[in-house]
Each structure stands twice: as C-alpha cells, then as structure tokens.
C-alpha cells in the first residue's frame, strides 16, 4: 500500500501489486488524541521490551530463546531448541510490528536491528527453502509429520505477514524473497499429486498470510495454494487421522483434553467438516477468527460468492450468538474455545486478547468483501473494549484473559478461575497477546477507511490522514475527532484535482442520531441500508464535512436467551462499554442495582483515569440484613446511591479489586 512514507523507501514496491479488489483498506497515518499515545507506547515500550524478551535480556522473565533458536538453526551457535513449538512466530510478530512502526516513522537503529534479524532468519533457511527452527534443531526428521498439532504452517504464515509488512514499509525485499522461496517449497510439498500431502495446518494462519502475499506480489499461485488449504480442511478421509496413523499414533504434547482426542482436535481447529458445511463458530476462538479471515480474503479476491456466504454464516453465528458485549469471543478457558449459542458466562470466560484481535482482522476482511456497518460495529466494539483492555495504560502489562466479572477474593481457590488474573502481567511464556496487540495498534491506520471503485468508506472515526485511491483519482482524507469521548468528527478532503466519488460515512449503531454538514451547510442525508451515510459529489481540495454523532449513554440489554445476563444491564457510550470497579464503588459490586430509567451522567476521570469520561448512575445498594447465610421472608431493602462506571478498557489500572460489566437493573414496577 503506497503511502507518503513508502515513497521515501530504499526500493520502490510496485503500487499496483497492492490494494487489489473492491473494498480494500488503505494505509495512512494516525494522528489522534486517543490512539497516538497508544501507538507511541507500542513504539517506545512494547516493541523494545519484546526485543529484549526475544533475546533473553529480561532477568525476571522466562527466557524466550526465540532469537537463539534461529542462531542455532543457522549453525552459528551450539545448543538446543527451547520454547513452544511455535516460538518462531514471536520473532515474526515483532518484525511485523516493527514494519508498521517504520512505515509511520523512520528509525535507523530499529531498522538495522530488523535487517540483522532478517539476515539471521535467511541464514536459518534450508537450501530447499524450508524454514522452522523447531523442526531444524529439535526434530529434523519430522518435517510435515504433525500438521495437526505443530504449527509449522502457522509459523510460516506469521513470517509471511512480517515479510509483506516489511516490504510494504521499507521496500526491502529480502524477507519477502526468503518467504516466497519457502512458499514455493511448500507448494511442492502440499497437493494431490503422488508424494504430496493433502493436508493443512491445525492452527489456521497460513491462509490469510498467503492472501497477503498474493496482494503484495500479485502471484496467483499463492491464492491457489490458499484455496487448497481452505478446501482441504475437514475433508474425509480425515487428514489428522491419516497423519496420526502415519506417524504411529503419537501426539506432540501440548495438553490433551479428556475427550476422545482426534475427534476433539477436529472441532477444536475447525476441521470437523469441510468449511462450506460449517455453520457455527466452534473450537479455539483464535483459530476460528484466523481461518475465517483468510477465507474472507480468498472469497473477496476470487469473487467466490459461495465461500463469502460461508464466511457470512459463520460471522453471523459468532456475532449474533457468541460475542461478548466487549467484543470478545471464547466463552470457555480449558480449550480457549467457543461453547455454544447464547452461552456467555462473565466470570469463567476466556475472552483472549488475541481472539478479539482476530475479530478485528475478520471484520476488516468482511468489510472489504461487503461494506456493512454490522461488521464495523463489531470491529469497533472489539477494538475499544476487549482488545484495548489487553494492555495497561502504561503499556507495560497485559491481559491474556479478559473477564467481564472478577472478584479477586475467589480466584485462588477455584481451579476453574485459575486463568483469570485480577491484574495485568508483565509478559507470558506463551507470548502471543502482547505482540499481537503491538502489531494491531501499529497498523491501526489500515482499519479506518476502505475504497472500491468510486466509493470510499469511513469505518472508524480515528484522527489522521488517509489515502483514498478511487477510480476517478486519489483523495486524501484528514480526520479530526475527540472520539471515543466526543461524537464530533471533522473530515477534510485533500485533492490535487477534483474527484467525482461517493464518500460513505458509517453511522454506528450506538449513535442515537446524527447531523452532517458540508462546508458549514447542513445536509439532509439519509443512511443507506448498510448503515453508511453516502455523500456523492465532485470532491474538491478543502471540502470539509462535519459529522456529529449523538453519543448519549446507552443502556445495553441482553438477548433474553443470555442467561448469565438476565435482569442485568450494561452501560455504553459511543463505542466504549463501561464497568463498575471496586476502586470507585467498594466491595460487593453485585449489590449494586441500577434503576430502570434512572439518570446517568458523565464525569471527568482523575489520576490514572484523567482525560477519560466516566459515568455516574443513580443506583440502589442492597442493605446488610444480618449475618445469616439464608434468611426467611425478609426481602432485601435498598439504599439510594450513586455508582461510578469506568471504561472497560481502563479497568485494573488502579488497585486490585472487583470488576463487573453487567449490573443488575430493577424495573420501575414489577
């Protein structure tokens, strides 16, 4: 994606190789009061810390060994492989985040570090193109023998993503070439010919990565290989069974469940049926989101309407039956998986940061395939709530798991809550979430707008400068806003020549109303059926659109099938979901009940929450009624009080304490 920055690059990536097909998203430059500081945290704190971790330079962290694995694989150091079987992907995600940072701002030291790392990776590549430090160092004879469990193509996928991003950011082709060589090798290994493997990875990722490689290179073989992996999935006889038999029914140990293992593995990794027969979101939540992201890209780039319908069906099940109000997915922790429709427990939830990031990835591809605010609404919900809650305000601590209800007192004594942490952690042995957050925030400019033919969609209201390559010419879009705190957005057009085009502004579902004006003159525009406000005209340099989205506090009520939320309400203002914290409201948050229709007003946050809009709600608090565990015929009484709500993303940035998103609400009259 050709940006103003990439034109400063050493080599010149061919712009025609990027941004193919309708509805794709351009890159830009974020300049936003809310997001820019977070981007800076990623640049100044997260990515440098991550580098230290990868190089085992953090004294109190479990050594990552990830860089050392590459040195050993390259034959430059003695030693054995250490870490997860997918340890290589940590290096890939770091490189990908670095690429996005470099795209925003040159940093010679960082770029040199990345270049050196890429050279190291290149030296770890085998003659035939193969690249994976686990199988090079630890199990050299076992390449491609356990796709189900060993993340071989998953690691390849992440490195491809890094390669494409680094190429797009710097124009440097070194890693891109390394990965094209690897993919060319993969292409010889997989297929239906004799001696080839008709299989696919247990952890989807290669699919979306191949589509990015196809976008970057225009090479149709990559799209074809992606299609192969998507279409093989879940076919019978089942590949997992076949490779399991071939390797003598052994398993790579990463925590088997008690269910019949092979059957379980299939559902867990969305391989229980061919994708076109799947109609529900099942299994490991991150795997699901990554698979569907790749499928949506493939459907859109190859104009495959049946595959797109599959994506839509799976999205709809996820979004309308299995999505937390925070935009999280994955209701159960033991398998980090979906459970079943309308089953969304608030305390035992997994809600992995990576899974919500996967929802953002998938929403972006669905928007590219068919712009509709339902995708953008969910993307925004996930981004501003579950995703953002994954990182502390100081950028130094992270949540893997994002509960909607926590009582720190009960966590230690119940193993089913073992995964829930009441405070963010410095880093993790399985370090997927922090680097994933880093690469998403660093590339957030790619989620804001989309273009196809003569239409540019504005999906997210985030300040910055975005390029809109339209059929009649390229526009620049300058956004200014105080979102998520205020609903006003100013969009200023930059154009070298006037361009006839349609500008489609998303009207979020949370907006109670809106007003739009052009150059100070109010427009009587109507929202189209897909939830966008379409403004068509010949755009001139300096055209200025003022959009005002009404952003009152909304009371969110759950579908009546959501049994964990029955009788409860959540508060939302703009894209932000709010929660109660013990820091403001004392212990026993379950004691607090809002009154139906009670007043909720806003409040300025202070100290750690300075600059944020908090909410203050009329509430009732259950009175003490003696020490009896159970008492007869003595209904609770309530005292009027005020309850303070803080943005969910900002929870656990003060003292350790209780938190709760869904609050009881008492109807006016029963």
| Contact status: 343 vs a second copy (CB under 8 A) | yes
State which residue, 242 or 566, has the beta carbon closest to a second copy: 566
Q: Rounded to an integer, what distance in angstroms lies between the CA atom of residue 638 and that of residue 655?
A: 27
Site for a second copy in 486-545 (CB under 8 A): 509-510
| Contact status: 420 vs a second copy (CB under 8 A) | no
3-state secondary structure (DSSP) of residue 647: strand
Selected range binding a second copy among 117-125, 226-234, 487-495, 592-600, rule: CB under 8 A: 592-600
State which residue, 409 or 522, has the beta carbon closest to a second copy: 409
| Contact status: 596 vs a second copy (CB under 8 A) | yes
Selected range binding a second copy among 330-338, 353-361, 519-527, 537-545, rule: CB under 8 A: 330-338
| Contact status: 664 vs a second copy (CB under 8 A) | yes
Selected range binding a second copy among 168-176, 231-239, 524-532, 558-566, rule: CB under 8 A: 558-566
Q: Pick one of 559, 601, 604, 611: the residue that binds a second copy (CB under 8 A).
A: 559
| Contact status: 254 vs a second copy (CB under 8 A) | no
Q: Pick one of 320, 471, 486, 655: the residue that binds a second copy (CB under 8 A).
A: 320
Q: Pick one of 590, 605, 608, 642: the residue that binds a second copy (CB under 8 A).
A: 590
Contact 207, 154 (CB under 8 A): no
Q: Pick one of 39, 225, 323, 382: the residue that binds a second copy (CB under 8 A).
A: 323
Q: Could you tell me which residues come within 8 angstroms of residue 260 by beta carbon, excluding any fewer than 6 positions away?
A: none
Q: Pick one of 109, 258, 529, 610: the residue that binds a second copy (CB under 8 A).
A: 258
Residue 430 in tokens: 């399985």
Instruction: Count the alpha carbons within 13 Å of 518 in the hemisphere toward its beta carbon.
Output: 16
**Burial class, 499, CB count within 10 angstroms (exposed 0-12 / middle 13-18 / buried 19+):** buried
| Contact status: 567 vs a second copy (CB under 8 A) | yes
Q: Pick one of 193, 521, 560, 610: the residue that binds a second copy (CB under 8 A).
A: 560
Q: CA dihedral in degrees (66, 43, 432, 313; nearest 10)?
A: -140
Site for a second copy in 113-152 (CB under 8 A): none
| Contact status: 563 vs a second copy (CB under 8 A) | yes
Q: Could you tell me which residues come within 8 angstroms of residue 291 by beta carbon, excluding any fewer than 6 positions away?
A: 204, 207, 230, 233, 270, 275
Site for a second copy in 345-364 (CB under 8 A): 348
Selected range binding a second copy among 12-20, 106-114, 457-465, 617-625, rule: CB under 8 A: 617-625
Selected range binding a second copy among 213-221, 225-233, 476-484, 548-556, rule: CB under 8 A: 548-556
Q: CA dihedral in degrees (642, 647, 650, 651; nearest 10)?
A: 50
Nearest-approach distance from CB 247 to a second copy, in angstroms: 26
Residue 73 in tokens: 């694989």
State which residue, 48 or 597, has the beta carbon closest to a second copy: 597
Q: Rounded to an integer, what distance in angstroms lies between the CA atom of residue 217 and that of residue 239?
A: 30
Q: Rounded to an integer, what distance in angstroms lies between the CA atom of residue 549 and that of residue 311?
A: 30
3-state secondary structure (DSSP) of residue 606: coil
Nearest in space to 30 (alpha carbons), one of 506, 503, 478:
478
Q: Rounded to an integer, what distance in angstroms lies between the CA atom of residue 327 and that of residue 191?
A: 37
| Contact status: 253 vs a second copy (CB under 8 A) | no
Nearest-approach distance from CB 552 to a second copy, in angstroms: 9
Question: Which positions are annotated as active-site residues?
Answer: 336, 432
Site for a second copy in 378-417 (CB under 8 A): 407, 409-410, 412-416
Contact 126, 136 (CB under 8 A): yes
Q: Rounded to an integer, what distance in angstroms lies between the CA atom of residue 282 and that of residue 20?
A: 31
Q: CA dihedral in degrees (247, 250, 256, 261; nearest 10)?
A: 70
Q: DSSP per residue over 567-596, as a string?
A: TEEEEEETTEEEEEEHHHH-S-GGGEEEET
Total of chain residues touching a second copy, rule CB under 8 A: 74
| Contact status: 257 vs a second copy (CB under 8 A) | yes
Contact 549, 489 (CB under 8 A): yes
Q: What is the DSSP letter of 201?
A: -
Q: Rounded to an integer, what distance in angstroms lies between the CA atom of residue 457 and that of residue 109?
A: 36
Nearest-approach distance from CB 640 to a second copy, in angstroms: 10
Dihedral sign from CA coordinates of 154, 155, 161, 167: negative
Q: Pick one of 59, 195, 248, 667: the residue that binds a second copy (CB under 8 A).
A: 667
Selected range binding a second copy among 10-18, 35-43, 165-173, 590-598, rule: CB under 8 A: 590-598
Nearest-approach distance from CB 325 to a second copy, in angstroms: 6
| Contact status: 566 vs a second copy (CB under 8 A) | yes
State which residue, 96 or 372, has the beta carbon closest to a second copy: 372
Residue 181 in tokens: 């060589």
Q: Rounded to an integer, what distance in angstroms lies between the CA atom of residue 582 and that of residue 566?
A: 22
Q: Rounded to an integer, what distance in angstroms lies between the CA atom of residue 402 and that of residue 359?
A: 14
Site for a second copy in 624-663 (CB under 8 A): 624-625, 627-636, 638
Q: Pick one of 28, 202, 328, 558: the residue that binds a second copy (CB under 8 A).
A: 558
Q: Rounded to an integer, what distance in angstroms lies between the CA atom of residue 553 and that of residue 5?
A: 39
Selected range binding a second copy among 199-207, 467-475, 595-603, 605-613, rule: CB under 8 A: 595-603
| Contact status: 333 vs a second copy (CB under 8 A) | yes
Site for a second copy in 597-616 (CB under 8 A): 597
| Contact status: 340 vs a second copy (CB under 8 A) | yes
| Contact status: 15 vs a second copy (CB under 8 A) | no
């Amino acid at each position: 994606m050709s940006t103003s920055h990439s034109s400063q690059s050493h080599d010149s990536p061919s712009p025609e190789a990027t941004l193919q097909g309708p509805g794709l998203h351009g890159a830009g430059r974020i300049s936003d009061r809310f997001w820019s500081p977070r981007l800076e945290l990623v640049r100044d704190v997260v990515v440098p810390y991550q580098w230290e971790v990868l190089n085992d330079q953090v004294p109190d962290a479990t050594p990552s060994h990830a860089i050392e694995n590459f040195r050993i694989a390259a034959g430059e150091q003695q030693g054995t492989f250490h870490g997860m079987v997918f340890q290589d992907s940590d290096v890939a995600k770091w490189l990908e985040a670095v690429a996005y940072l470099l795209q925003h701002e040159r940093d010679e030291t960082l770029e040199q570090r990345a270049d050196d790392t890429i050279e190291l990776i290149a030296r770890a590549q085998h003659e035939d193109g193969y690249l994976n430090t686990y199988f090079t160092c630890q199990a050299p004879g076992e390449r491609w023998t356990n796709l189900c469990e060993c993340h071989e193509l998953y690691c390849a996928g992440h490195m491809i993503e890094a390669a494409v991003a680094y190429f797009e950011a710097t124009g440097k082709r070194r890693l891109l070439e390394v990965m094209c060589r690897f993919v060319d090798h993969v292409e010889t290994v997989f297929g239906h010919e004799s001696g080839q493997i008709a299989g696919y990875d247990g952890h989807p990722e290669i699919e979306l990565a191949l589509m990015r490689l196809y976008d970057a290179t225009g090479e149709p073989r990559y799209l074809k290989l992606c299609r192969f992996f998507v279409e093989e999935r879940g076919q019978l006889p089942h590949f997992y069974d076949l490779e399991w038999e071939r390797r003598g029914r052994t398993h790579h140990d990463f925590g088997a469940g008690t269910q019949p293992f092979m059957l379980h593995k299939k559902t867990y990794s969305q391989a229980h049926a061919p994708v076109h027969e799947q109609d529900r979101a099942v299994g490991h939540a991150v795997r699901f989101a990554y698979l569907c992201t790749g499928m949506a890209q493939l459907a859109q780039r190859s104009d495959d309407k049946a595959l797109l319908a599959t994506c839509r069906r799976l999205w709809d099940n996820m979004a309308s039956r299995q999505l937390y109000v925070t935009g999280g997915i994955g209701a159960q922790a033991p398998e980090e998986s979906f459970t079943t429709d309308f089953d969304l427990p608030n305390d035992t939830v997994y809600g992995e940061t990576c899974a919500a990031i996967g929802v953002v990835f998938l929403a972006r591809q669905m928007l590219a395939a068919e712009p509709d605010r339902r995708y953008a609404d969910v993307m925004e919900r996930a981004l501003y709530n579950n995703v953002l809650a994954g990182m502390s305000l100081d950028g130094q601590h992270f949540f893997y798991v994002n509960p909607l209800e926590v009582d720190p007192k009960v966590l230690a004594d119940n193993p089913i809550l073992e995964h829930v942490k009441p405070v963010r952690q410095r880093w993790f042995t399985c370090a997927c979430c922090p680097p994933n957050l880093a690469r998403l925030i660093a590339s957030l400019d790619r989620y804001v707008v989309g273009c196809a033919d003569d239409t540019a969609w504005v999906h997210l209201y985030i300040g910055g400068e975005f390029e809109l390559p339209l059929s009649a010419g390229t526009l620049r879009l300058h956004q200014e806003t105080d979102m998520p705190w205020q609903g006003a957005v100013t969009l200023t057009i930059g154009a070298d020549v006037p361009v006839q085009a349609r500008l489609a502004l998303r009207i979020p579902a949370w907006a109670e109303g809106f007003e739009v004006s052009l150059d100070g003159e109010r427009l009587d525009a109507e929202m189209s059926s897909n939830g966008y406000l379409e403004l068509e005209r010949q755009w001139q340099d300096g055209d200025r659109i003022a959009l005002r989205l009404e952003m009152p506090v909304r009371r969110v009520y759950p579908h009546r099938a959501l049994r964990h939320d029955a009788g409860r309400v959540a508060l939302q203002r703009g894209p932000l979901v709010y929660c109660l914290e013990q820091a403001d409201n004392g212990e026993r948050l379950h004691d607090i009940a809002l009154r139906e229709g009670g007043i909720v007003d806003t409040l300025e946050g202070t100290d750690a929450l300075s600059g944020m809009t908090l909410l203050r709600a009329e509430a009732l608090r259950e009175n003490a009624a003696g020490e009896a565990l159970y008492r007869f015929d003595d209904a609770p009484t309530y005292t009027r009080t005020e309850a303070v709500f803080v943005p969910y993303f900002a929870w656990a940035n003060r003292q350790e304490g209780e938190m709760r998103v869904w609050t009881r609400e008492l109807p006016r009259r029963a």
